[in-house]
Structure formats: structure tokens, C-alpha cells
Amino acid sequence: MKNRLSFECINYKNRDSAFESITKEQEKIGYYMLPEQDIQPILDYTETISDNIDSVAIIGIGGSSLGAKAIYEFIKPIGELEKKLYFFESTDPVNIHSTLDKIDLNRTHFFIISKSGTTIETFAVYKYIYSLQSSPKSYTFITDRGSPLDRYADEIGSATLYLPTGVGGRFSVLSVVGLAPLALCGINIKNLLKGALKIKNSFFKNGYIKDTILKKASFYATNHAKYHINCLFAYTESLKYFCEWYVQLWGESLGKRQRHSAFNVGLTPIGLIGPKDQHSFLQLIMEGTRDKSVTFIKVEDFQDKIEVPNITLPHLESLDCLNGISFSTLINLQCDSVVEALENEGDVPIDTITIPRIDEFNIGSLIFYYELLTSLVGELIDVDTYNQPGVEAGKIILKKKLN
């Protein structure tokens, strides 16, 4: 993975301080350790339930589902996966019914994921599905040890997998939360973690990525009042759900009241997909208010040789310039052209991340890169990156209304 920045930030003091804080933070924040975990127990467990099912489903919301969905949808177009993965992540009744219509309840294994064990949306959906399929063997519960859900699973005789200590929901994709259902589908979780470990080692052992991430985080923090909107512009449909995961990670981690002041701060995340969003949101970036930074993500090798046919269309001869060009070359030329246009503007901060190819290793690298970047920006803008009091406030009110 390569990351080219078009901006500079010279606040080395804060940058060095943030690195020291993140290094120390590893003692209590669990996601840093995930790339080096022993995944054999996960592989052994999924092997025990693999033979009797055709599909896998996750019942969960937010961090319980978005990460696994991002990885699955990234790999699915190019991988011959053993099983399909479905997501119940909304209380929308139409969505629930349409998803159920796609699966055979007797040939599907469900992962019920809730760190607290009491997530309202998750258990509203679970109760409905349980009324249709009550076999304990159809369910695996993923939660914190000792939670109400842990006790419930033990009561009905279903299996329970536990989140590692100190791993919050939106940082949990590389834990059992994402790894168990992905492994059951046939995704290579070993390579997923290898990609994450490469970024971790490069960052903490003074590799090539350390200076890049520190420089980028320092720029975002120093200019968070001016460039308070960060656009992730991915030039592949495969990253559509990665953009959704990034929006949760960035928004829920960084939109906070500062720890040592009464100021409310944050960077607003926006996920875009090229080239289609060139024909909509790009206009706002190009000529709108200068309050946005943009990160472009492109794939170097799509591993697909499909080309525009060598055909001349009457009255459209000017488009013969497309003839014979591969679609992978075309989409990257579109990305490069937009980058160049914004560079010519001169006052829109941009950077470009290039992924060598679509596979588990590279999506693992990208996920850990963004987790590190989020932690650094949170430290630099003086917020608690790992709580979410604004989200909890709404949950408290909902429970009062339901009662």
C-alpha cells in the first residue's frame, strides 16, 4: 500500500508526542494486539459448523457488522467464497423480510453480536428470527464475558465467543467479531491479519508508513477547524462498504467534546465512490467552500482484462479514443484526472492511497491503517477516541420510551 500526500505539516512536537501516547496506549486498548492473535481456535470452531450450512448471517449493528461487511464485499467479487454472508443490521421490516427471503433458515448459521449483550436493535431482530428458527445449534453469540447475552447463550445451550479485553465495537473487525463469520465464508483471515501486521510493524518499528500517518494525522488535527470535512473517494465499487465502515469509525471516534476544554470538535466523514460521484459531489469539492480534505483510493491491478471493444458508433466517432482501453486503466485515468484537477486548484488538501490488488492482505492493511490514523487524530485533537457518549444518550432515551 502506497500513500502519497500533497500537503505538509511541520508540527513535529505534537506529532512526536502523539506517537508516544499511542505507543503507551497499547497497554489498555486491545485492537493494537489483534494482528498478532492466535486464530487457530476461531478456525477450529468454524470447522465444526461448516458442513451443515449454505449461508452465514450476522445479526448486529454498527461495529458488530460494518467491518465484516466491508471485508466481505471487498473480496466477494474476485473470490470463490464457500458461503454467502448476509446482514441483519436494521429494524426496517422490509429489509428484514427481503433478507430472510434469500436464505434457508435450516441451512444458515447466525452470529448474534453485541458487546454489551443488550443492544436493542440486535435483539428485536433476533427475537423475530428465533421465533422462526429456535434450534440452539443455529446460533453463535459473540459478546463480553459475563454479559446478559453470555448468560442467555449458556441457558439455551448455544456456543459463545468472547471479545478480547479492551476492544471496542468499531475497532473490533479484526477480532472474533469479524474473523469468525468471515472464516466460515471461506475468506483467508490469516492473510487479513498479515496485512494488518505489516502496517503495525511499519508504524511502531519506524518503517515507511510511520512518517506518512503521523504527518497526515498532524495535518488533520492542526487544520481541523478549517478542513473539518474529510472525504474518502474510492475508485472501486468493492470499497463501497469500507467507506461505510470508515464513516462510523471516523465519526463516532472523533466527534466529541474535548477532554481538557468545553469545546466540541470533530471531523465529518464522507464516503464517495468514483467515478459515479464525479458527476455529483465532485462539483462541491471543486468549487464549493474550502472546508474539505480528500483522500483518493485506487487499485493498481484489478486482475481483470476486460476492454472497451474496438467499435465505431455512427455520429459518436469522437469516442473512438476509448477503443481497446481496459476498464481498469480507464477507471484509474479517471481518478488521476480528478486528482490533477484538484491539485491545479491548489487549495484543497488531497492524498492518494494506492492498493496493489484486491485481496485479504490489502484490505487488512487498509483497515489497520485507518484505525491507527483515527487513534492519532483523536489524541491530537484531545478527545477520548474510544467512547461514544452521544450515541449512548439516544439509547438511554429509547429504553425509557420502550418502558
Task: Measure CA of the first residue to CA of the last residue in the chain; give whole Å.
Answer: 50
Same domain, 132 and 152: yes
In 3-state terms, what secondary structure has residue 297? strand
C-alpha–C-alpha distance, residues 20 and 78, integer Å: 40
| Strand bridging mode 350-357 / 256-257 | unpaired
- Whether residue 346 lies inside any domain: the answer is yes
Does residue 88 form part of some domain? yes
- Phi then psi for residue 292, to 5 deg, are -125, 140
Distance CA 108, CA 110 (A): 6
Dihedral sign computed on CA atoms, order 124, 66, 173, 52: positive
Residue type for position 121: E
Catalytic residues: 252, 279, 395
Q: How many CB atoms lie within 10 A of CB 194?
A: 15
pLDDT digits (tens, 9 = 90+) for 357-398: 999 999 999 999 999 999 999 999 999 999 988 877 787 888
Interior CA angle at 176 toward 173 and 178, to 5°? 35
Question: Are residues 253 and 181 part of one domain?
Answer: no
In a domain, residue 8? The reply is: yes
Both 181 and 218 in one domain: the answer is no
Residue-wise pLDDT tens digits, 130-184: 999 999 999 999 999 999 999 999 999 999 999 999 999 999 999 999 999 999 9
This prediction has a pTM of 0.95
Q: Domain of residue 158: give its range.
A: 30-187
- Domain containing 222 — which CATH number? 3.40.50.10490
Per-residue pLDDT reduced to its tens digit, 197-207: 999 999 999 99
User: Which one has a higher pLDDT value, 116 or 328?
Assistant: 328
